Amino acid sequence: MKKKFLIILSIILNSCTWNMIQISVLPNGDYSVVYESSGDKLDIENNDFVHPKNSNTSQWLTTLEQGSNNDVIKKTINIKPIRNKTVFIDEKSLNYFINVEKNEYFFWDEYSFSSIVYDLEVDKKYPSIVNFLDIEGDKISWILPAKKYIINTSLIEYQDLLNNDIFFEKINNQITTYFDYVEKDSLIDKIDINSSLIIKDALNPMINKLPRDFFLQLQPIIDFHESEFEKNTALMNDYFLFNIELPGKIQSHNGDSEEGKLLWEIDFNEIATDNFEMYGKSIIIKKWRILISIFFVLALPLFRFKVIKKTI
């Protein structure tokens, strides 16, 4: 229990939002799910990770309450137990499925859990910066290439409108010098802002040489790429803890085991470019059937012996 507490405490202290998905499997194979998210109100209400809502197949109850540090705690629980596979698909949110199956055999019942959290495909959308998206590293190591990508991509689109290579070569040289200066002195505050503000600061030394409507025309392009990037990296400061309790004795799994429960920690790095797969199996031995079977196996020869003895 102490280990589980330390895991959750670490998540709370080192992230903007933490999300716990707790799954409890009943002996009949049905299961209940409790979602709990804690963090800033704006982050809780955005669409990067959405709690389930009522549908034709499932009913959910959601509550909101104020946390101890002005955080908002959102809890969602299914009203009736769920059977079989549940799929959560939303183009604006994290996509995943939860599947629980029960297989009955003569001597035991087997319970299987499987889930896949689908990747965000950041490597396909932002191939030039994916190697820098490391939440364990210092912040400037991934923000800097991200902002470079947004600004350079926007300038390329703007350049197609003006068709002036010499002019843009000067702009690119100035921006390169600016980013080198930021990186050398680790000036994170200079770039941890909207990209439209960064380019204004970067080009300030040559502002009199820029076209009159330069920033006005460039800003919608930058804002578009900025919002796209934010949408696809909104989960960078979110952490997830999947927690499942299966009936019986755990037989196999690919997570961590703590007091009969299975745990999986998921952060942005693990779902940015790859699916995150979870599975676990447990069994309940039907002891009375085994004992009765053993009794009959031992009693049958004795019964046959008595029958043969009578016939003699």
Q: Which amino acid is at 278?
A: M
Q: Would you list the DSSP string of 56-91?
A: SS--EEEEEEE-TTS-EEEEEEESS-B-S-EEE--T
> For the residues 65-72, what does the mean pLDDT come to?
81
Collect all residues with Cβ–Cβ distance below 8 Å to 233 and sequence separation of at least 6: 122, 133, 146, 268
Distance, in Å, from the CA atom of 48 to the CA atom of 91, rounded to the nearest integer, reads 10
Mean pLDDT of the chain: 82
Are the C-beta atoms of 286 and 106 separated by less than 8 Å? Answer: yes
C-alpha radius of gyration, the chain, whole number: 29
Give the model's pLDDT for residue 116. Answer: 96
Q: Given this model, what pLDDT does residue 7 score?
A: 41
Helix (H), strand (E) at residue 194: none
Pairwise CA distance, residues 201 & 195, whole Å: 10
Beta strands in the chain (DSSP E): 17-25, 31-39, 60-66, 72-78, 86-88, 96-104, 108-117, 238-245, 249-253, 256-258, 261-266, 276-285
Cα distance between residue 266 and residue 256, in whole Å: 12
Model confidence band, residue 129 (pLDDT cutoffs 50, 70, 90): low
Cβ-Cβ contacts under 8 Å for 152 (sequence gap 6 or more)? 172, 175
Nearest-angstrom CA–CA distance, 195 and 130 = 18
b/e map 177-208, b = 16+ CB within 10 Å:
ebbeebbeeeeeebbeebbbebbeebbeeeee
Q: Alpha-carbon distance 86 to 99, whole Å? A: 6
pLDDT at res. 12: 39
For 233-246, the pLDDT digits (tens) are 777 778 899 999 99
pLDDT interval class at 309 (50, 70, 90): low
Instruction: Answer whether residue 1 shows pLDDT above 90.
Output: no
Of 183, 100, 104, nearest to 144 by C-alpha is: 183
- Which sign, positive or negative, has the C-alpha torsion 69, 190, 183, 167? positive
User: pLDDT tens digit string along 222-276?
Assistant: 988 887 777 667 777 788 999 999 999 999 999 999 888 999 999 888 888 899 9
In the numeric block, which tokens belong to residue 176? 């390169």
The backbone torsions φ and ψ at residue 297, rounded to the nearest 5 degrees and listed phi first, read: -65, -40
Beta-strand pair 276-285/31-39? unpaired
User: Is there a contact between 262 and 246 (Cβ–Cβ < 8 Å)?
Assistant: yes
Question: Which pLDDT does position 4 carry in this prediction?
Answer: 43
- Region of 140 please: left (phi>0), alpha (psi -120 to 50) or beta: alpha
pLDDT the model gives residue 272: 84
Q: What is the pLDDT of residue 153?
A: 87
- Give the chain's length: 312
Q: What is the largest CA-CA distance in the chain?
A: 121
The model's pLDDT over 71-82, given as tens digits with 9 standing for 90+, comes to 889 999 999 999
CA distance 304 to 187: 90
